[in-house]
Amino acid sequence: MLGITTLQQQRHYNGLTLTIFAMALHNDIRAASFSPPRIDFLFVLFSIYSIFLLHFHSNSFAFFHLLSNLPFFSFDLSDMTSNENAVGEKNRVPKLNERILSSLSRRSVAAHPWHDLEIGPDAPKIFNCVVEITKGSKVKYELDKKTGLIKVDRILYSSVVYPHNYGFIPRTLCEDNDPMDVLVLMQEPVLPGCFLRAKAIGLMPMIDQGEKDDKIIAVCADDPEYKHYNDIKELPPHRLSEIRRFFEDYKKNENKEVAVNDFLHSGVALEAIQYSMDLYAEYILHTLRR
């Protein structure tokens, strides 16, 4: 008869309603349209609804009619939706692409270590140094100036390794259009891409294939074993011989000629760093004018 369903039909209707309710609940949660307390509430409601439909063979209209007569479940669905939207706008978790774009706009990611990292308030004496090559490494890493990432340039052809951590000073510029190179003496190797505070103690004049390629010799300003050094003449002579021999030999098997001259004191190093800072500032001003 019209309007009368069998028990089997009622169970089928309840199962279908239950499935639709579960799918809607799943989609709402996945869309992050509900806060965690609301999710807990909906799961409790869903559990009660399941028991009511499957065990009492009633229908969904009777279920919501029953809830509306209970004082602690009395609510207006439209009010719940409007309140949820109001709270949701405040507590809404940004989607992944929104978080990435927001981070980029704040420049908290994708920073260029040469241009975005400050040289430090105590430069030229104490400055930030970005490590490119780890102490003891045979891998020649270097800064990719276009992306700001550290890339593998080559594996050294000679059977030598870098005697100390090697990198560059941010916001400096030399005649070879690269930032100022620096060799940092310290106890431990540092991973490529990290930066540390270094103190200049000298300069190693070097000619690489006919071009000037001087290196600042520095110590880690936060290493208790090295931070007390103020000038290169305080280092053991053998340590200086090791450094010099490395740079004389590390390109020999590539048939590239390198000449290393006598080490110079800390005053010359400070002048060289200051000059590279001024050259970088001129480059930035020239770029802005263009």
Residue 178: the pLDDT is 95
Closest by alpha carbon to 114, among 276, 285, 270, 268? 276
Q: Which of 162, 166, 226, 250 is catalytic?
A: 162
Q: Measure the CA–CA gap between 155 and 268, rounded to whole angstroms.
A: 32
pLDDT exceeds 50 at position 74: no
Is residue 13 part of the annotated active site? The answer reads no
Radius of gyration of the chain (CA): 34
Instruction: For residue 121, give Cα distances in angstroms to 117, 273, 276.
Output: 12, 14, 16
CATH architecture for residues 126-289 = Alpha-Beta Complex (3.90)
pLDDT higher at 168 or 54:
168
What is the dihedral sign for C-alpha 261, 263, 265, 271?
positive
Q: What tens digit of pLDDT does each residue of 217-276 get?
A: 999 999 999 999 999 999 999 999 999 999 999 999 999 999 999 999 999 999 999 999
Note whether 139 and 162 are within 8 A (CB). no
pLDDT exceeds 60 at position 56: no
Which residue, chain included where needed, has tokens 């029953």?
A: 66
Neighbours of 155 (CB within 10 A): 9
| Amino acid at residue number 141 | Y
For residue 224, whether the previous peptide bond is cis, meaning omega lies within 30 degrees of 0, is no
Mean pLDDT of the chain: 79
Residue 105: the pLDDT is 53
Residue 249: the pLDDT is 95
Q: Tokens representing 182?
A: 């620096």
Q: Where are the domains of the chain?
A: 7-93, 126-289
Note whether 169 and 128 are within 8 A (CB). yes
Residue 91: the pLDDT is 59
Q: 85 in helix, strand or coil?
A: helix
Q: Measure the CA–CA gap between 68 and 74, rounded to whole angstroms.
A: 5
Q: 221 in helix, strand or coil?
A: coil
Determine the distance from the C-alpha atom of residue 28 to the mean position of all C-alpha atoms in its chain, rounded to a whole number. 32
Q: What tens digit of pLDDT does each residue of 93-141 get?
A: 555 555 555 555 554 446 899 999 999 999 999 999 999 999 999 999 9
Q: Measure the CA–CA gap between 170 and 258, rounded to whole angstroms.
A: 25
